[in-house]
A and B are shown apart, each in its own frame.
Chain A
Amino acid sequence: MKSYLRSAVAVYAKDMRLEARTKETFSAVLAFAVIVAFVFGFAFDPSPTVVALVGPGIVWVAYVFTGILGMNRTFAVERDRGTLEGLLLAPVGREAIYAGKLASTTTIMLVVEVLLYPVFLVLFELNLFNIWFVLITIAATVGFSAVGTLFSAIAAHTRAREILLPLLFLPIVLPVIIGAVASTSAALAGDGWDGVGKWLQFIVAFDLVFLVLSSWAFDFVLEE
């Protein structure tokens, strides 16, 4: 367990250091997310009635697409630079590499998502500074990353990885998207635990299942 944690933390710290130094993924993902939000802003009249109806959907479409963009790079960068072999040659369990990568992907996504809060506030007058929404964001992002990190490793071995990742990823995370949109509607309507609770529990259950499954399957997808 100590070795697992040490290795996972080492991978996470390395990814964060690289990202802090290059900002390659962060800047691309943030720019894309802002553009998506702007496109929706021009696509319809953001009146309060319309925003209450479609706002949660817009938020999660923006989050999911930006997440795909970021997750595509999780293993593609390692593979393109040849450093994936360095990770695989280390005497650490594959699940530790998965955990480190999962943590770094989740961190980058969460930072971008939080930075989008004021963008949605300005463009749609959608106030996402809500404790329930914060919890939904964290839970759903962990779910996206749990699935996306695994599929990113699979897609990194293929030539058409930019196409393959969304095709693999979106059908699997559909339950999380549905849960996130429904619970966001409830949270923004001020329903509290009564409205949000069941969806939040559903998303957390999805997270747990896919954290275990993806961690277990990760060993097989990295074989040459």
Chain B
Amino acid sequence: MRPGYAIILERAIASPTTMTTNATPEALSHAPSLAIDVQGLSKSFGRMAALRKVDLQLAYGEGLALFGHNGAGKSTLIRTLTTLIRPDEGTVRIAGFDRESQASKIRSIIGYVGHQSLLYDDLTPRENLRFYAKLYGLPDAHDLVERSLAEVGASTYAERRVRVLSNGMQKRVAIARALLHRPRVLLLDEPETGLDQGGLELLDSVVAAVKQGGASVVMATHGTERGLALAERAIVLADGRVSLACATSETTVDAIQQAVLAERGASSRSGAQA
């Protein structure tokens, strides 16, 4: 028997309006051609350069898979796109909004799933989502919360405290939180972590449904196969630089893995020499 969320997400794919954005009318009327436009992005933490002159453009409805070894700069890039990190140099525009002057507007149209669930342990999933719905000023918050919980198959444990849920269950609720306001850009930082097979299938369905609804997805991942299957474009980061950028249709799992391994070897050697 197929899980309920799969059916719901299939319906969402069939009828994209169910996964389209809840952004404000002002944000909706602001519709430039690129969902993400990053130019010359650099960021250092102390002496360590995390990002070096990164350029990145992504259209609406497109998926981008970010690959790279640990410390390559994937999380820093995604967190910069979320506005959590202020870049040292370069410009970041999300849906045409400038990161420096319109950060709040960017936050209203992005969804983020990171390493942590961003959920309060002593609240239930339903209470957590209601809290975030209030912060986002969502109309029809009650319906949206219930729908988001159903989409990730979390309705059955919506009244349990988050602290008693497994990592996989928490991750599902974290995905529901990220989708609550129907973002135009979904940013995923190693979202597979902690998910079982059912959770991974859910993740694949969510990414497909979000793109089908016209939103863009950026996913940092170590799962090369999944990344290439879900995205139209791929980037390999190494030491904060874009070492490879290509369409996923024009590359292979082996080619990406070799690029990541080659860059890891190079950075290990340079680190040892330093």
A residues adjacent to B (C-beta < 8 A): 3, 6-7, 10-11, 14, 17-18, 21-22, 81-83, 85-93, 223-224
Contact = CB atoms under 8 A, between A and B. Distances in A.
Contact of B137 (A6, A11, A18, A22): A6
Interface stretch (B31-39, B114-122, B229-237, B264-272): B114-122
Given A7-B135, A10-B134, A89 B112 contact: yes
Contacts of A21: 122-123
A86 B111 CA distance: 11
Contacts of B127: 17
Contact of A83 (B86, B104, B107, B119): B119
B82 interface: yes
A18 B123 contact: yes
A14 B104 CA distance: 21
Given A17-B127, A86-B132, A224 B122 contact: no
A224 B84 CA distance: 7
B157 interface: no
Q: How large is the interface on B (under 10, 10 to 19, 20 to 34, 35 or more residues)?
A: 20 to 34
Contacts of B84: 85, 88-89, 224
B108 interface: yes
Contacts of A85: 84, 114, 116, 118
A97 to B, nearest CB: 9
B104 A93 contact: yes
Contact of A90 (B85, B107, B115, B117): B107
Contacts of B110: 89
Interface in B134-155: 134-137
B104 A89 contact: no
Given A88-B84, A224-B85, A14 B131 contact: yes
Given A92-B104, A224-B84, 9 more contacts: A14-B120, A81-B121, A82-B115, A89-B83, A90-B136, A91-B107, A91-B135, A92-B135, A93-B104
- The 9 A-B residue pairs whose C-beta atoms are closest, nearest first, are A82-B116, A86-B118, A91-B108, A10-B134, A90-B135, A91-B107, A91-B104, A224-B85, A14-B131
11 contacts: A18-B122, A81-B121, A82-B115, A85-B84, A89-B83, A89-B110, A91-B105, A91-B107, A92-B104, A92-B135, A93-B104
B111 to A, nearest CB: 9
Contacts of A22: 122
Contacts, number: 67
Contacts of A10: 131, 134-135
Contacts of B82: 89
Nearest to B43: A224
Contacts of B79: 224
B135 A83 contact: no
A86 B137 CA distance: 15
Contacts of B119: 83, 86
A21 B110 CA distance: 31
A22 B121 CA distance: 10
Contact of B120 (A6, A7, A83, A90): A83
A22 B161 CA distance: 12
B120 A224 contact: no
A209 B57 CA distance: 45
Nearest to A84: B118
Which among B86, B110, B134, B135 has the highest number of chain A CB atoms within 10 Å?
A: B135
A82 B117 CA distance: 7
Contacts of A3: 137
B134 A81 contact: no
A104 to B, nearest CB: 13
A21 B127 CA distance: 13
B99 to A, nearest CB: 12
Which among A14, A91, A92 has the highest number of chain B CB atoms within 10 Å?
A: A91
A88 B103 CA distance: 11
B107 A89 contact: yes
Interface in B162-198: 177
Given A17-B123, A223-B86, A89 B131 contact: no
Which among B79, B107, B115, B137 has the highest number of chain A CB atoms within 10 Å?
A: B137
Nearest to A11: B135
Which among A14, A21, A88, A89 has the highest number of chain B CB atoms within 10 Å?
A: A89
A11 B121 CA distance: 15
A157 to B, nearest CB: 13
A214 to B, nearest CB: 20
